């Protein structure tokens, strides 16, 4: 009986978090206060999902994360992806 010689399968998820500060009255938001935006990018075998979070409306206090770009194959997992971004956001505060 020969043993299978299948190559091991590697599953990998890459996460990139960027944070950018937009100055007061910037065209992105127009408010009199600077706005901080975080983008959580998850690269999975099924595609790249992006979730964003800002402190728009209350400087220094972040709003809940919001699904920005979710590929069709990952849409059933949107809740888990957003929850993962929320968990990572806590580490940034």
The predicted-structure confidence for 27-36, as pLDDT tens digits, reads as follows: 888 888 999 9
CA 20 vs CA 2, 38, 58, 74: distances in Å: 56, 6, 16, 26
Structure tokens at 22: 């937009």
List pLDDT tens digits, range 5-22: 677 777 899 999 999 999
- What is the value of pTM for the model shown? 0.84
3-state secondary structure of 1: coil
């Amino acid at each position: 009986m020969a043993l299978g010689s299948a190559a091991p399968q590697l599953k990998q998820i890459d996460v990139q978090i960027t944070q950018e500060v937009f100055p007061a009255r910037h065209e992105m938001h127009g408010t009199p206060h600077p706005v901080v935006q975080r983008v959580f990018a998850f690269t999975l075998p099924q595609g790249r999902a992006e979730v964003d979070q800002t402190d728009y409306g209350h400087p220094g206090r972040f709003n809940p994360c919001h699904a920005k770009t979710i590929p069709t194959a990952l849409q059933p997992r949107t809740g888990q992806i957003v929850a993962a971004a929320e968990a990572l956001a806590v580490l940034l505060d």
